[in-house]
Amino acid sequence: MTALPQGDGVADALCMGEVLIDFMPAGPDPDLRPGGIGSFTPAAGGAPANVAAGLARLGVRSAFLGRTAADSFGRFLARSLADAGVDVSRLRLADGARTPVAFVSLDEEGEREFLFYGEPMAGFSSADLDLEAVEGTRLLHSGSIGMIDPAAREASLLAVETARRHGRLVSFDANLRPALWPDRETAERMIRQGIAAADIVKLSDEELSFLTGTADPAEGGRSLWHDGLRLLAVTHGRDGCTFVTRDACEHVPGMAVATVDTTGAGDAFVAALLAGILEDVGTAFTPDRLRGICRFANGAGALSTTAHGAIPSLPDREAVNRLLG
């Protein structure tokens, strides 16, 4: 197993979980019949890896904690994250592992479907953890994919427990991928466990409905609420998002853009949301601050849909500010 060279200093945000190759459609083929398969272009992906890259693009010191194969695909992923400005010193390249991949198909409106191959966490376990990095960061972010495999789940829960014990913020993305779970009941139970340990939770409309039976953020959010939760953000695609706190529930409108590919849009939103929170944690969870933070996050998510791929499409702060005017 190979550990990449150490970075300088401690990251403000440590993102833990899957990193994989997204094989994106290379473009429309005029000779391709409906239902056919065209060519694909590789792009780095995996929700926590995307968030790490999105944070770095927005000027936040971010690091990635995970595992992939010591093969050409794994080295491509490490380079892609490093090129985006992410500290990859906690990304383990393991001999004998296989880099997970996902083939992405897009409909006419840019909505995507994933076909996964390989174990998404590539054998991640407690042996891959750097608990000193967890203790030293300001925020630990992870998602539900790390809760599927038992060894990865044990590692993820240990990291979250360590972060909480040291007073660090914990962020969790439900990121439901039903095909990866053994059954619906297990998926719901594990995602709820992730939510129960988090300060900040991001859900899509579909994930809120899956967990609570309602798409109403106020009703569903209250049913998921716990004493340690400070923010639940529900995304509505092009219609923006709703933030739920202990005392408030408000919708923040989205922005109209020319969408070509929604891959990574939720991760761009999460990165911008966390970047805004980290600017001033003391005031971040007030409605006045959250309106601005969520507007910025909506802008980042919208911009990411105007280009193909996840990490390649993540915007920087200047681009988001231009969109917001």
Residue 235 and residue 305: Cα distance in Å, rounded?
A: 14
CB 143 within 8 A of CB 172: yes
205-212 vs 217-224: helix crossing angle, rounded to 10: 60
Give the residue numbers spanning the domain of 72: 2-17+46-96+124-324
pLDDT of residue 34: 47
Catalytic residue among 71, 183, 267, 280: 267
Q: What pairing do the DSSP bridges indicate for beta strands 87-94 and 2-3?
A: antiparallel
Domain contains 73 = yes
287-304 vs 265-279: helix crossing angle, rounded to 10: 150
pLDDT of residue 7: 39
Domain contains 136 = yes
User: Residue 263: which pLDDT band, with cuts at 50, 70 and 90?
Assistant: confident
Q: How many domains does the chain have?
A: 1
Domain contains 104 = no
> Chain-wide mean pLDDT for the chain?
91
Establish whether 87 is a catalytic residue: no
User: Residue 3: which pLDDT band, with cuts at 50, 70 and 90?
Assistant: very low
pTM of structure: 0.92
Q: What percent of the chain has pLDDT over 70?
A: 91
Instruction: Determine which of 29-38, 47-56, 67-76, 271-280 has the lowest per-residue pLDDT on average.
Output: 29-38
Kindly report the CATH number assigned to the domain that includes residue 316: 3.40.1190.20
Sort 183 into a burial class: Cβ within 10 Å, 0-12 / 13-18 / 19+: exposed
pLDDT of residue 271: 98
Domain contains 114 = no
pLDDT of residue 109: 59
Q: Can you tell me the mean pLDDT for 287-294? A: 98
Domain contains 110 = no
Instruction: Determine which of 40-44, 149-153, 196-200 has the lowest per-residue pLDDT on average.
Output: 40-44
Q: Can you tell me the mean pLDDT for 139-165? A: 98
What value does the CA radius of gyration of the chain take, rounded to a whole number of Å? Answer: 18
Query: Bigger pLDDT: 48 or 107?
Result: 48
pLDDT in tens, 168-195: 999 999 999 999 999 999 999 999 999 9
Domain contains 290 = yes
Domain contains 315 = yes
User: Residue 241: which pLDDT band, with cuts at 50, 70 and 90?
Assistant: very high
Domain contains 214 = yes
